[in-house]
């Protein structure tokens, strides 16, 4: 499929500083060589505490934070109470009926690549007779360091400032369920400190450290599937037996399950999860709270009113009533659920996010999770829409991306752009899909057995993406205006996410390498339109503008 030919310009400006003649001070004995993240990574260089100088991620190489960097006054610090007891911090979640959409002005992002707004800070897996949520097994078990070379895992750095008021444990964020620590280092400026890491039964993380202000830097590895993706096909016998809910809660959960139309007796877990997700994503924020006709759970669940925390709370109680292992997870900006699929815990966003979230300290590429397999209703506000656009490379990261729009993830159509050196080239439309390495080369291809098997399992009709680039003269740091539509099997694909990337087509460039520009969502008619900011770090060269989608429940991924 081909679009009209257009010109896309990326002028580059070279600044040359001219100084006077140097004083005759003799020969230069040494020349400083700036740090090169690719050299550090390829040579296996290490930083403070034997942490690797860089790790390879889907968005490029990410440099290790400096554990000995003195925490700034405006950096968010994680702390315990005056007695040193972190377990009492947010020990319970009490549901409420305030269903207005919240405003969020701050979010601390401790991870690189950034996972905003999905850092795990408070997780709950049980409910009492008053409908308060709590952690069933609070005993903290040690987190032992372990290698991070397992297949299908992703690497992250954590940069966490601690303010321990007394010797004791501090609750700290984790990146995903089932994550483990590869290496870690704690320091107060030049002074290294001893510490211990722990987790409880809901996979909340804690650190025991001496009193004072310090910086904890960790290399973390986590299963990619823990960030979302297809739920799987477990049977009910694959799950552990859950402790019974209080009788009043069990009766209420049975009433909600009947309203949704889910049953353990007649459905497999996969179908139950699909219906639960669809029902709770259809909640709406409301200025007027639900009427207090019964308990808070029934009032929220049956009215389908609420933002992220109400959706996650209702989902958790209903799922536990069905015997489906589930957790509710929160931070200062968002709430969602994690569901066990018989093998691992998976993150599941239910939407209802706030309006804005920003971190004035952190910057860098955003993590690209697996595609969202479930459909979003029109007008939904997923958690990804809450995340700020990536602010570009951190520590010479070799790639970056920005996110916006209505949730879900990537999956194509492309238009040829060019002219980073003032030149131009034509635009065409084609298709592309596949996970990318840091060089831009596909990690798998249709000829690979893994890819062929995945495609054979996918019985959704393939999506066709039609892309049009609206502006003829686009500059680095300026807007790239794109529009188009997505259809599958002749029908529009509403509420799917379109990822837009630049693919290097320069004869002398990193040919085939891709750089994410951002994402947009289709409307109820399958159309999308918007302006995305071209990253300021795009090298000079010729580029294809590529748009692709992973689809949703009805529409498959684009070719």
Report the pLDDT value the prediction gives residue 501, as an integer from 0 to 100.
83
pLDDT at 244 over 80: yes
Percent with pLDDT over 90 in the chain: 44
Residue 138 region by backbone torsions, left for phi larger than 0, else alpha for psi between -120 and 50, else beta: alpha
Confidence class for position 35, pLDDT limits 50, 70, 90: low
Q: CA torsion 165→169→174→180, rounded to 10°?
A: 140
Tokens found for residue 222? 């986590």
Report the pLDDT value the prediction gives residue 423, as an integer from 0 to 100.
29
Report the pLDDT value the prediction gives residue 252, as an integer from 0 to 100.
98
Tokens found for residue 535? 């990253």
Cα–Cα distance measured from residue 278 to residue 478, given in angstroms and rounded to the nearest whole number: 37
Confidence class for position 508, pLDDT limits 50, 70, 90: low
Confidence class for position 479, pLDDT limits 50, 70, 90: confident
Confidence class for position 258, pLDDT limits 50, 70, 90: very high
What are residue 184's DSSP bridge partners?
Answer: 218
pLDDT digits (tens, 9 = 90+) for 522-553: 877 888 887 777 766 677 677 788 888 888 77
* Percent helix / strand / coil, the chain, rounded to 5: 15, 25, 60
- Phi, psi of 180, deg, nearest 5: -140, 160
The H or E element containing residue 317 is helix 308-321
pLDDT at 338 over 60: yes
What are residue 503's DSSP bridge partners?
Answer: 514, 544
Query: What is the Rg, in whole angstroms, of the alpha carbon atoms belonging to the chain?
Result: 25
pLDDT at 43 over 80: no
Report the pLDDT value the prediction gives residue 422, as an integer from 0 to 100.
30
Confidence class for position 45, pLDDT limits 50, 70, 90: confident
Report the pLDDT value the prediction gives residue 533, as an integer from 0 to 100.
72
Residues 6+ apart with CB under 8 A from 31: none
Q: Provide the 8-state DSSP code for 90.
A: T
Which of 42-56, 187-201, 224-238, 266-280 shows the lowest per-residue confidence on average (mean pLDDT)? 42-56
Please state, rounded to an integer, the average pLDDT across all residues of the chain. 78
Q: Which of 213, 138, 204 is nearest to 175 (CA)?
A: 204
Torsion sign (Cα): 33, 39, 44, 47: positive
The three-state secondary structure class of 307 is: coil
Cα–Cα distance measured from residue 142 to residue 356, given in angstroms and rounded to the nearest whole number: 36
pLDDT digits (tens, 9 = 90+) for 128-179: 999 999 999 999 999 999 887 778 999 999 999 999 887 778 999 999 999 9
Cα–Cα distance measured from residue 4 to residue 484, given in angstroms and rounded to the nearest whole number: 13
């Amino acid at each position: 499929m081909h679009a009209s030919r257009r010109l896309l310009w990326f002028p580059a400006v070279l600044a040359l500083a001219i100084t006077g003649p140097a004083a005759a001070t003799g020969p230069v004995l040494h020349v400083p060589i700036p740090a090169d993240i690719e050299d550090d990574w390829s040579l296996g260089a290490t930083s403070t505490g034997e942490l690797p100088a860089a790790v390879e991620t889907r968005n490029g190489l990410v440099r290790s934070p400096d554990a000995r960097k003195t925490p700034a006054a405006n950096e968010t610090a994680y702390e315990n109470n005056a007695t040193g007891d972190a377990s009492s911090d947010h020990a319970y979640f009490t549901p409420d009926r305030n269903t207005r959409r919240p405003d969020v002005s701050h979010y601390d992002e401790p991870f690189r690549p950034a996972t905003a707004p999905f850092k795990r800070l408070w997780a709950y897996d049980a409910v009492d007779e008053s409908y308060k949520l709590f952690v069933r097994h609070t005993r903290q078990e040690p987190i032992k360091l372990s290698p991070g070379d397992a297949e299908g895992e992703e690497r992250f750095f954590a940069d966490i400032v601690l303010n321990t008021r007394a010797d004791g444990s501090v609750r700290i964020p984790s990146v995903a369920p089932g994550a483990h620590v590869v290496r870690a280092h704690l320091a107060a400026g030049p002074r290294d400190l001893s510490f211990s890491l722990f987790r409880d039964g809901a996979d909340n993380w804690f650190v025991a450290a001496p009193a004072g202000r310090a910086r904890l830097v960790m290399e973390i590895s986590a299963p990619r599937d823990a960030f979302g993706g297809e739920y799987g096909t477990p049977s009910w016998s694959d799950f552990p037996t859950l402790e019974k809910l209080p009788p009043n809660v069990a009766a209420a959960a049975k009433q909600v399950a009947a309203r949704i139309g889910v049953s353990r007796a007649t459905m497999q877990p996969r179908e139950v999860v699909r219906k639960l997700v669809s029902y709770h994503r259809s909640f709406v924020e409301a200025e007027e709270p639900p009427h207090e006709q019964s308990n808070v759970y029934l009032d929220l669940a049956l009215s389908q009113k609420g933002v992220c925390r109400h959706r996650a709370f209702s989902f958790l109680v209903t799922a536990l009533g069905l015997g489906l292992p589930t957790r509710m997870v929160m931070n200062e900006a968002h709430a969602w659920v994690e569901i066990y699929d018989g093998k691992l815990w998976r993150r599941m966003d239910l939407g209802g996010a706030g309006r804005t979230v920003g971190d004035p300290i952190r910057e860098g590429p955003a993590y690209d999770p697996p595609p969202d397999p479930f459909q979003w209703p029109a007008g939904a506000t997923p958690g990804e829409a809450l995340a700020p656009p990536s602010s570009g490379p951190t520590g010479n990261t070799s790639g970056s991306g920005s996110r916006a729009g209505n949730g879900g993830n990537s999956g194509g159509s492309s238009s040829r752009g060019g002219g980073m050196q003032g030149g131009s080239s034509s635009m065409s439309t084609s298709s592309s899909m596949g996970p990318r390495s840091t060089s831009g080369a596909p990690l798998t291809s249709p000829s690979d057995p893994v890819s062929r098997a995945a495609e054979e399992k996918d019985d959704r009709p393939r999506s066709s993406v039609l892309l049009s680039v609206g502006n003829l003269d686009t500059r680095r740091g300026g807007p790239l205006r794109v529009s188009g539509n997505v259809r599958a099997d002749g029908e529009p694909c509403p509420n799917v996410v379109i990822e837009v990337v630049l693919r290097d087509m320069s004869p002398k460039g990193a040919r085939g390498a891709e750089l994410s520009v951002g994402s947009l969502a289709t409307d109820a008619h399958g159309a999308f339109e918007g302006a995305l900011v071209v990253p300021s770090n795009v090298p000079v060269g010729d580029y294809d503008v590529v748009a692709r989608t992973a689809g949703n429940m009805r529409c498959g991924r684009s070719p």
